[in-house]
Amino acid sequence: MSQAAVPRRRGAAIALTVLALMLAVGAYALVGLGKTGKLPVNLALYGSLFVAGFAGAYLLIRRIAPGADPALFPIAGVLAGLGFATIFRLDGDLASEQFAWLAIGLAAFAITLLVVRDHRQLDAFTYTIGLIGLALLLLPIVPGLGREINGARLWIRLGPLQFQPSELGKVFIVVFLASYLNRKKELLEVATTKVGPVHLPQAKHLGPLFLAWGVSLAVLFLEKDLGASLLYFAIFVVMLWVATARGAYLTLGVILFAAGAILAYSTFGHVQTRVDVWLHALDPKVVNDEGYQLAQGEFAMASGGVAGTGYGLGQPRLIPAASTDFIFAAIGEELGLLGTTALLLLCLALVARGFKIALKQTDGFGKLLATGLSTILGLQVFIIVGGVTRLIPLTGITLPFVSYGGSSLLANFVILALLVRISAGPAPSRKQTG
């Protein structure tokens, strides 16, 4: 990047950060006005903490990542602020916890930027990072350590602390895949075997694809999490396709996923229930039983209409788990079609900036890493919004930066920091920043 472009990016970053701050604090103020007719009593406290967090992140980016994409952090800030306001609307106690996790997430963002001075340094720890990611992914199945909540075994408890290690595990897995595929892409590009109309590489080079399929099935069978299984396998197939530019991998990936889905449907009762609810959520026999949550979400979005009922004026608390799995429906009721469209456009903009960063990279590792990280965010949005709107069966994936959940928020801020680092390039030397 030219030196002349840096000041322009700084100006854009300042303007967008200020706008993000105004939207985040403004949403919180509107919730208070809608609920009680008065501004929240702790508006000054939360507002000042938002200012400190956003300003601190901006100054850190300006100092050690001056060439970073100016829109990444402001977009994530608006999403986080909107999510916090909605969670406050639903449950004040959860909002306090979410704000604490926001602070922890911002700290993780800063630490990641400070530690990863050049994204290419991660390329030297391929298998170490891969083993850490795999361990985090499968940690909940360890007897005595894992906890099953709502039918899925995704949580572990260490003393008073309970979290989902798979949220950070997916970041490590993407770093590993970016490094591994960058080194092996030449071998994976060579197609010497013909299966019908499809040309495939030698069987020994297809091992990683089947390994990823096996890990996704392990997550599905052992942790009973359809959404996470779909997410991990889809990330790998997309990254493999980007690395090799071979459509055969997409075809084979779809076939393997369909086989896994059929196997899961025929094996697990809870998967059959999810599919049945998806198909018949408004059936009188289902709506007051397993389909109650999904039906309430649809009723909420329908009552919101185009413009919504207004913050604090709807009944989103009638939706079970509204602050986590169904926060999109809660926003749809009170901000309407216009609000959910704006939310989706923000998510789209964040993912699009990530892919744009990937296209600009000259090194294969950076290109694949930015692609994988952006794919995580995009797939999460698709899976949870698709489930809430009944486009696909519902799964328990969080909406990035918006849903309540400390593990997810922490992982998303780490992803954001890595995208900022990739877009900025290596950090300036201490002499340059001094």
* 3-state secondary structure at position 163: strand
Digit-coded pLDDT (tens) for 353-375: 999 999 999 899 999 999 999 99
Residue at token pair 């609000």:
339
Phi and psi of 224, rounded to 5°? 55, 45
- How confident is residue 3, by pLDDT bands cut at 50, 70 and 90? low
The per-residue pLDDT for 75 is: 94
* Band (16; pLDDT cuts 50, 70, 90): confident
Whether residue 100 is predicted with pLDDT greater than 70 in this model: the reply is yes
The residue-averaged pLDDT of 2-7 equals 55
Sign, CA torsion 391/392/393/394: negative
- Higher-confidence position of 376 and 286: 376
What is the model's pTM?
0.90
R_g (Cα) of the chain, nearest Å: 22
* pLDDT at position 349 over 80: yes
Nearest-angstrom CA–CA distance, 216 and 212: 6
Q: Could you tell me if 231 and 397 are in contact, meaning their C-beta atoms sit under 8 angstroms apart?
A: yes
The string of DSSP codes covering 231-254 is HHHHHHHHHHHHHH--HHHHHHHH
pLDDT digits (tens, 9 = 90+) for 115-166: 999 999 999 998 898 888 888 887 877 777 766 666 666 667 766 667 788 8
Q: What is the DSSP letter of 37?
A: S
Give percent of the chain above pLDDT 90: 37
Q: Which two tokens stand for residue 408?
A: 């997810």
In tens, the pLDDT along 203-240 reads: 666 666 667 667 766 766 666 667 777 788 888 888 88
Spatial distance between the Cα atoms of 346 and 307, rounded to a whole number of angstroms: 18
Residues 165 and 371 sit within 8 Å (Cβ to Cβ): no
For 154, phi and psi rounded to 5 degrees? -115, -10
Q: Output the six-digit token pair for 19.
A: 């706008």
Residue indicated by tokens 């009762």: 269
Q: Could you read off the pLDDT of 244-262 as tens digits, one per residue?
A: 887 777 887 788 778 877 8
Burial class, 390, CB count within 10 angstroms (exposed 0-12 / middle 13-18 / buried 19+): middle
For 164, the token pair is: 């989902």
List pLDDT tens digits, range 30-39.
888 888 888 8
Is residue 434 scored above 50 in pLDDT?
A: no
CA angle at 285 for the pair 280 and 291, rounded to the nearest 5°: 55
CB burial readout 88-110, b (16+ within 10 A) else e? bbbeeebbeebbebbeebbebbb
The CA distance from 101 to 324, in Å, is: 14
Distance separating alpha carbons of residues 81 and 169, to the nearest angstrom: 25
Tokens 């009170």 — which residue?
334
Residue type, 63: R
| Model confidence at 394: pLDDT above 90 | no
The per-residue pLDDT for 220 is 65
DSSP per-residue letters across 168-217: HHHHHHHHHHHHHHHHHHHHHH---EEETTEEE--GGGGHHHHHHHHHHH
Instruction: Say how many residues make up the chain.
Output: 434
Q: Tokens at residue 275, please?
A: 């599919």
Across the chain, mean pLDDT equals 84
